[in-house]
Amino acid sequence: MFIDINRIAREGLAFEGPVTLGDIEGLGGEAIRVVSSRLGGTAVRSGRGVEVAGRLVVALEIPCSRCLEPFPWSLDAEVAFTAVPVAAESEPKTPPVDDDSIVRAPGGRVDLTAVASEMVYLNLPLKPICRPDCRGLCPTCRANLNQVECGCRVEDVDPRLAPLLAFRRRRPDR
């Protein structure tokens, strides 16, 4: 989805529609499936460029960081930025802008798919958890502890004392 900021009239432009994000990669390299995504808003001319404001709604299936099972996660975020056209190659270069709310529009076209994709990445949780009481995977047999009791015996051992564990097991009184 693109907006041509050169063709926006004084009264502005309203836009609404689906955004094709495709599947994205999570912070740990895991695949995140995009179920649906919509972007809507307005674009109005201003002294600095074109002010774009809207709302992004995305539904994802994201894997839990404890049990690795995918679960539904949604994002409902406000989008606000100023689009400025990038100077043509024959004109002097425009100075770099340090403002994060400025989006450069080469040829006067703003790629709303790239803006929506960036918003999704910025709002992804670092450690997504499917539910607060998720028990995760067994460290021995990798069974999902939310679904089965594996029966593995797990000893909590301080890693600094782990070399002494072999000595403890050899003692006859234990």
Domain of 144, in residue numbers:
135-174
- Please check the confidence at residue 91 and state whether its pLDDT lies above 50: no
Q: What is the pLDDT of residue 63?
A: 94
- Please check the confidence at residue 95 and state whether its pLDDT lies above 60: no
Q: Is residue 130 part of a domain?
A: no
Q: What is the pLDDT of residue 92?
A: 46
> Based on the domain organization, do 91 and 144 belong to the same domain?
no
> Based on the domain organization, do 160 and 114 belong to the same domain?
no
Per the CB < 8 A criterion, the answer to whether 138 and 70 are in contact is no
Number of domains in the chain: 2
User: Confidence band (pLDDT; 50, 70, 90) for 163?
Assistant: confident
pTM to 2 decimals?
0.74
